[in-house]
Structures are given as C-alpha cells and as structure tokens.
C-alpha cells in the first residue's frame, strides 16, 4: 500500500469516526456549506466516491443507513487503491488526465478533510484537523492560480449546482493555519 492509500485510509478513519458520532437528530442540522445539512455533506462525500469509481467501471451498492453508505463507499475506494491495475487506470477529469489513485487523492481524500470539518462543525464535534492535512491542503490551495481559484468560487462552473469553494472569509494573518485554510476555502473558522 502506497502513500496515497495510507493517506486516504487515515482520513477515511477520521471521517468515519465523525459520521459514527452523529446523533440521528443532528443529520438535519445546517452545515457550514451554504444550503446544506449535515446529511447533505455526507451524501456529497458518498456521491463523490461514486464518481471516482466511474473510470474503473465500478459502482456503489445502494444503502439506506448513512454510516453504512460511507463504509461501502470507503471499501470501494480502498479496493481501487489496492488494485494496481485499477489504481493506475488513467482518465480525463476536470483536473486533467490522471490515474484513478491521483484523482482519489486530489478529490475525495482531500474532501474527507474539509467535509469532515464541516460535519464536525454541524454536529458539535471536535473540529481539529490533523496538522499534516492542514499543511498539505494549505500548500495546495495557495498554489492554485487566481483564475482557477475564481472558477472554483463560481457556482456552476463545474456543472449545475456545483460550487467548489465559497467566497473567501477574511481571517487575521496571524490566525492559526487551520483557520486561515478554512477562511481561504470559504468557511467561517
């Protein structure tokens, strides 16, 4: 298992713990994502896992239970990462031509970090992001060219109803790196 698989598993473990700690009455709580509830955050994460499976001709089974839906999505992604042929299958994506494992790493693995924070905030859990993840996502985010960042902040630029990042929330320059990252990604730390 390589670095990408290890990173995904670590992040999926944290996200799954957050999902498992949500009380049934909290799924309708508003999330930091505009117009989304805690349930919408989880539905988005599961849906994005499903999207990652398309290039390797795999699908997720239907699941009614929210925790089971994530566990099945996670297992499917881990199967891809553990299969050298599937992991190295290339496809054209909005981020360019990449392997399945690169796409997983740059989309759903990173999403687990940010949406894990969203879900924790929505349900009153610990919002601390792993410092290594904060540093990695900060470096990636500040390297995004301004014209691409503008596109990420434009609702519908990547498809109907899709908004990658919200408007930047200004935080003090001496704020903790996690707060600066969240502000840059459109979250109110």
Q: What is the pLDDT of residues 58-94, one digit of tens each?
A: 999 989 899 999 999 999 999 999 999 999 999 998 7
Identify the three-state secondary structure at position 21: helix
Per the prediction, the chain carries an average pLDDT of 93
The pLDDT confidence band at residue 155, using thresholds 50, 70 and 90, is: confident
Q: What angle do CA 52, 56, 60 make, to 5 degrees?
A: 60
Q: What are phi and psi of 176, to 5 degrees?
A: -55, 150
Q: pLDDT tier at 20 (50, 70, 90 boundaries)?
A: very high
Q: How far apart are CA 35 and CA 24, in angstroms?
A: 19
Task: Report the distance separating Cα 175 and Cα 184, nearest Å.
Answer: 12
pLDDT in tens, 121-133: 999 999 999 999 9
Residue 106, Cβ density class (10 Å: 0-12 exposed, 13-18 middle, ≥19 buried): middle
Lowest-confidence pick of 21-30, 43-52, 128-137, 143-152? 143-152
**pTM of the entire structure?**
0.94
Going by C-beta distance under 8 Å and a sequence separation of 6 or more, which residues neighbour residue 165? 149, 152, 153, 184, 185, 186
- Which residues of the chain are in CATH 1.20.120.450 domains? 1-127
Share of the chain above pLDDT 70, in %: 97
Which band of pLDDT confidence, cut at 50, 70 and 90, is reported for residue 160?
Answer: confident
49 and 81 Cβ atoms separated by less than 8 Å: no
**DSSP E strands: which ranges in 41-113?**
90-93, 96-99
List, as own/partner pairs, every contact residues 27-33 make where C-beta atoms lie below 8 angstroms and the sequence separation is at least 24, other chains included.
Answer: 27/66, 29/122, 29/123, 30/122, 31/118, 31/119, 31/121, 31/122, 32/117, 32/118, 32/121, 32/122, 32/187, 32/188, 33/115, 33/118, 33/166
pLDDT tens for residues 92-114?
Answer: 987 789 999 999 999 999 999 99
What pLDDT sits at residue 161? Answer: 66
Give the homologous superfamily in CATH for domain 1-127.
Answer: dinb family like domain (1.20.120.450)
Calpha distance 30→118 (Å, rounded)? 10
Judged by average pLDDT, the poorest of 5-9, 84-88, 154-158, 171-175 is 154-158
């Amino acid at each position: 298992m390589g670095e990408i698989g290890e990173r995904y598993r670590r992040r999926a473990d944290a996200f799954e713990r957050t999902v498992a700690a949500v009380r049934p009455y909290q799924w309708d709580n508003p999330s930091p994502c505009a117009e989304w509830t805690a349930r919408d955050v989880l539905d988005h994460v599961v849906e994005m896992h499903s999207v990652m499976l398309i290039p390797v001709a795999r699908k997720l089974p239907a699941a009614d239970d929210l925790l089971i839906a994530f566990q099945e999505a996670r297992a499917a992604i881990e199967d891809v990462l553990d299969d050298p042929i599937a992991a190295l299958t290339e496809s054209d994506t909005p981020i360019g031509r990449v392997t399945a494992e690169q796409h997983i790493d740059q989309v759903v693995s990173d999403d687990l970090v940010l949406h894990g924070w969203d879900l924790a905030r929505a349900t009153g859990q610990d919002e601390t992001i792993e410092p290594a993840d904060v540093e990695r996502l900060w470096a990636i985010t500040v390297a995004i060219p301004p014209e691409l960042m503008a596109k990420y902040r434009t609702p519908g630029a990547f498809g109907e109803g899709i908004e990658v990042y919200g408007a930047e929330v200004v935080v003090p320059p001496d704020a903790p790196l996690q707060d600066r990252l969240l502000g840059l990604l459109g979250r109110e730390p």
